[in-house]
Structure 1
């Protein structure tokens, strides 16, 4: 991630969040499709997560529209609200990773599927990548 966006940095931050929330939402589908005999409790949890991640994605899109339409400089209040949303996205990704780890470790259907294990490790790494981006953004904005 580049930090040369200057005044429009909140827009760049939101672009990252938009991309990764969509990815995580799609990952819930990938997991369900890859492990056809996944236990119902995990299928239900993934369905709920798909909905939550989609809602967050839509929320991020609305904030992108707000930033785009902001005249001239982005106000400190708007910057603060964007950072709150980034914090929320970061924590949501941490919780999503936790669910992925639980499924990977506890699901009998999952344990017998080597492809699913490799894909799940990839999904976890991608969400961890977003967390790293979000943490960097939050740290840089505190300076």
Structure 2
């Protein structure tokens, strides 16, 4: 995590969310490309996840622009919206992890691909890392 933001918490947490939402979106492509014989239901679901994660990524980028343009004079309303967005991002990552685990455990194509299992575990680990960061920042804001 980049701690050079100091007291500029909204930008700090948004920077993390922006990076990890982009990563999760890219991970949907990695899974589709790695498992060439992946069942169509999972391919379709991964495409939907990619779209959803890209939308969230763009939403986070808009909030970053709002914070920067405000000259870091964050109104209480914008601050609450940032925390709500981070909470949403965290929940979205939890759901994405559940989906990745479902693919790993239920896809016949993945069961026969040890490399895919390792990569999916890595993808899950990265999303869990973001969740840890988000929870820490959200917890700090409550104290």
- TM-score range, shorter-chain basis? over 0.9
Over 2 Å off, 4+ runs: 1-7
Q: Which residue of 2 aligns with 1:25?
A: 25
Counterpart contact for 2:8–2:72, Cα < 8 Å = no
Question: 3-state DSSP class of the match of 1:88?
Answer: helix
Q: Aligned equivalents of 1:132 and 1:124: distance in 2?
A: 12
Matched, 1:49 2:56: no
1:124: Cα distance to partner? 0.2
1:76: Cα distance to partner? 1.5
**Alignment TM-score, normalising by the size of structure 1:** 0.96
Q: Which moved more, 1:132-141 or 1:6-15?
A: 6-15
Q: Which residue of 1 aligns with 2:131?
A: 131
Q: Deviations over 1:1-36 (max 9, x none)?
A: 355634421001100000000000000000000000
Q: How many pairs does the alignment contain?
A: 143
Matched, 1:93 2:93: yes
Could you list the runs of 5+ residues in structure 1 that have no partner in the other structure?
A: none
Q: Which residue of 2 aligns with 1:103?
A: 103
**Alignment TM-score, normalising by the size of structure 2:** 0.96
Q: Aligned equivalents of 1:101 and 1:2: distance in 2?
A: 29
Task: Please tell me the root mean square deviation across aligned C-alpha atoms, in Å.
Answer: 1.2
Q: Aligned equivalents of 1:25 and 1:2: distance in 2?
A: 21
Q: Aligned equivalents of 2:108 and 2:21: distance in 1?
A: 28
1:74: Cα distance to partner? 1.4
Q: Deviations over 1:63-82 (max 9, x none)?
A: 00000001352121111100
Q: Which residue of 2 aligns with 1:142?
A: 142
Question: 3-state DSSP class of the match of 1:81?
Answer: helix
